[in-house]
Copies of this chain bind each other. A is one copy, B any other.
């Protein structure tokens, strides 16, 4: 059986990969700046080691453009019904275009009111939600982000896919330390991770996924539905995230999925981003010093048996980013072939990989 390492056939420089992806989107009609934004969000996921949310998704965006379920050159519209809230209607624009707009709206509202909330209605493939909370943190604010989508995860006590693996991200700026960045699915295991383990011929951890019939399995070929983290806790979080992300944008996804209708299973996502202007509460330096001390306290704890080092949320991703910025981003043979085929068909220059 092939190993995971054997799947990584090429390494590509982050800048080259960004240019390739931006070129593909621009050639499909996305505005230059928006194409660059999509490329940056996807390559960021690869840099951080979240390959399931990276450039391997490009062909899927293109399919959605072809099917009319996503609109390559859509320009999101923004309303600000009250001082601290914005609603970004994506009009089926690619996720990063709508989500960047939401992050910026949330920051602007927070600067004025102390906190700011932006809801996103009807986008597609947002990618890694931590990208957008990190964007808010770039303004030295804390952030919370949630995405809701089409059901693909079990709900405690129910059979089959019931709710989405809706991720939660929280970003908290530090001082001496790097950004504390939680970015987690409400599922025990991500669908992308199941696909990776399948490709690598490895078993799933027990208790992570169910078959299509609702039976527990560790065989990635049979695993159809990830299990919510903590049973009713994970599925409860996913449910309330759907109610807040989709309910507040008048675009519910779960009922249509289960009760049918023409849009029932069409891919679409809603989201929200909350920005918290730390400096409205206390001097920023006092806050970031407290974050630093808290991080120091956790990292200095005695490690559990079998643990070499205690990690803070975001730390693993940052190490991946440092390594991949210098050594290039590893891509599986299939992902690379799909990208280069698309590029060739659209007349986009394909960069030279830097190694295998």
Known A155-B301, A280-B82, A301-B160: A117·B119 in contact at CB below 8 Å: no
Chain A contributes a number of interface residues (CB within 8 A of B) equal to: 82
B247 near A291 with CB under 8 A, answer yes
A115 near B84 with CB under 8 A, answer yes
- Contact of A4 with B by CB under 8 A: no
A112 near B87 with CB under 8 A, answer no
- Chain A residues at the B interface, C-beta cutoff of 8 Å: 81-85, 87, 112-117, 119, 142, 154-160, 162-163, 168, 170, 172, 180, 182, 184, 188, 214, 229-230, 232-234, 236-237, 239-240, 242-244, 246-250, 252, 254-255, 257-259, 274, 276-278, 280-282, 286-287, 290-291, 293-294, 296-298, 300-305, 307, 309-313
B244 near A142 with CB under 8 A, answer yes
A250 near B290 with CB under 8 A, answer yes
The listed residue with most B CB atoms (<10 A of its CB), out of A157, A170, A242, is: A157
Per assembly, the copies of the chain total: 2
Specify the chain B residue showing the minimal Cβ separation from A242: B294
Q: How far is the CB of A214 from chain B (nearest CB, A)?
A: 6
**Which residues of chain B have C-beta atoms less than 8 A from A237's C-beta?**
168, 170, 182, 184
A236 near B81 with CB under 8 A, answer no
The contact of A170 among B244, B280, B281, B290, by CB within 8 Å, is: B244
Specify the chain B residue showing the minimal Cβ separation from A187: B230
Nearest first, the 9 closest Cβ-Cβ pairs linking A and B are A82-B114, A85-B114, A84-B113, A229-B230, A255-B293, A157-B307, A158-B301, A258-B297, A170-B240
